[in-house]
Structure 1
Amino acid sequence: MDARFTKAEAALLLPNATAASRREAEVEAIRLAAAAARNEAIATLFLRGLRRITAAIVGLPHRFATYNALRALSDRELRDIGMTRYDIGRVFDADLNPRPANDAGERPSPRAA
């Protein structure tokens, strides 16, 4: 009897190497796809934030001009457009202090108290 195995016999005794390598290849492909999706999501968020910052910086001179123009108006002119001096800061920085929808812009008069 010969103690040597033929290649065909050895292949039957060894675990299926091709199935394991296919499985490893599938897992690696999934890992790479997940990493690519993660990188794309991070890049998208970064670019969105960068665009917001850029828009804020580019719009800043216009916002300062609006603020200064409103500050230059008299109290009567402000009332004509439905504002008070209190509202000027809110118009300039509307994102921080949004007004409720039912607020008509009227403030209690200091004389009424």
Structure 2
Amino acid sequence: MSALPNNPPPNVSKDAVARSLAEAHRLTDPEITMIFRIEKPGQESNPAEPVKLLEVNPNTTASGIMPVKLMPHAPSGIFFPSVIVEVHPTELEDLKNGNLLLPNGWKVNYDRPL
């Protein structure tokens, strides 16, 4: 069963939800050094497509790409499903160099860090 959005209000964007998620994650884990949006080209306007974040954390182990999927939580303002991918800084370099790949055709938007 796939997660569906909890009827996001028309004025709530995935960018706003991504910023809220990034802020919340930084508050709970101040060791996170960078957060980027992960996008699936041609699918981001689909409300069922999750908000995806790449979080760089030196305290995580370099164990490859392991997406963690979360359901929407409207009371918290998270109206879309989300996916978090946490990587070690060395894995970020591997992603940038093409030595490590994201699943499902996902691409990291390095131009707009959160």
**TM-score normalized by structure 1?**
0.22
Q: Which protein shows a greater Rg?
A: 1
Higher helix share: 1
Pick the structure with more strand per residue: 2
Q: Which has the higher contact order (CA 8 A, sep 6+)?
A: 2
